[in-house]
Structure 1
Amino acid sequence: MQKTILITGSTDGIGKLAAIKLAEQGHGIYLHGRNPDKLAATISEIRSKTQNKTVGGFTADFSDLNSLGQMADQIKERGAGN
């Protein structure tokens, strides 16, 4: 069964490796990052590496509650929480 998975802090390290592995398995992946340019590059890299086009992302700074709220609204709008 394919799932939609949100991975926070996924532009490098363990989060990025987890995103790659899950994308290779065909799951829909949403990445989170603070830096929009780095997030976009990571999404592009994972899509290219895995041929999984259901990789997307959200930018937010978790130390800023307004930013976090905006990310939550974006997730709801995309239907990623269903």
Structure 2
Amino acid sequence: MKVNLILIGNSKGVRLPSAIIKECGFGEELDLSVVNGRVVLAPLEHGRAGWDEAFRSMAKAGDDAPLLPDSMAHDWDGEEWTW
């Protein structure tokens, strides 16, 4: 599809048809990158997306034991600091 650059203040932009926005699953924010000289737009992925399901799956499989001890206390925790 051929599109024209439009002037937006001191920048330029591209209008995306709503059908393309829906098909790509775009929200209000996008991830924009340049790959091999091409502009790539992708839905913004949230860093913790899917964690809830992964935790439930781990618990169901019995793979949810803590990796760290309940307490990480050290000797110096009970001592007063000298300045």
Same fold, judged at TM 0.5 (above) = no
TM-score tier (shorter) = under 0.3
* Bigger relative contact order (CA 8 A; separation at least 6): 1
When the two structures are superposed, what TM-score results if normalisation uses the length of structure 1?
0.20
